[in-house]
């Protein structure tokens, strides 16, 4: 049940953010959906992964300040349900854009 609620909240946030961005830019909802979904998925991935560039920067700062060597973490990412939801939203919006603008693509 917890996973289902997190998926519903993620979809709600994606729709609200997409609606706000579309209104601010004065464009159609479908025009911004791909970018909002992609940015949301990348943001979730960046902030939930362990290791990588941001962790290495913090580790190097701690080593420089204390002089104590800290072991490096391997970069790992365990996908969560909100991440999968954002990726599915992005894929659905990509397909929707392709169908909506099929005259321009074909």
CA distance 42 to 48: 10
pLDDT tens string 38-95: 999 999 888 887 766 666 777 777 778 887 776 766 666 778 899 999 999 999 999 9
First to last CA, the chain: 43
Q: What is the dihedral of CA 70, 76, 80, 84, to 10 degrees?
A: 150
The DSSP secondary structure of 60-91, one letter per residue, reads HHHHHHH----PPPPPB----HHHHHHHHHHH
Name the one residue in this structure whose structure tokens are 């579309």. 22
Please report the pLDDT score of residue 105 as a whole number. Answer: 76
- Give the pLDDT confidence of 95-106 residue by residue, as tens digits: 999 999 988 877
If we measure between CA atoms, which residue out of 21, 23, 26, 10 comes closest to residue 90? 10
């Amino acid at each position: 049940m917890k996973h289902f609620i997190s998926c519903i909240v993620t979809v709600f946030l994606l729709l609200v953010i997409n609606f706000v961005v579309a209104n601010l830019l004065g464009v159609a909802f479908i025009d911004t959906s791909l970018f909002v979904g992609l940015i949301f998925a990348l943001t979730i991935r960046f902030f939930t992964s362990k290791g990588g560039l941001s962790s290495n920067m913090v580790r190097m700062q701690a080593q420089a300040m204390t002089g104590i060597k800290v072991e490096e973490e391997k970069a790992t990412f365990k996908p969560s349900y909100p991440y999968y939801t954002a990726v599915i939203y992005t894929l659905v919006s990509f397909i929707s854009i392709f169908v909506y603008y099929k005259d321009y693509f074909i």
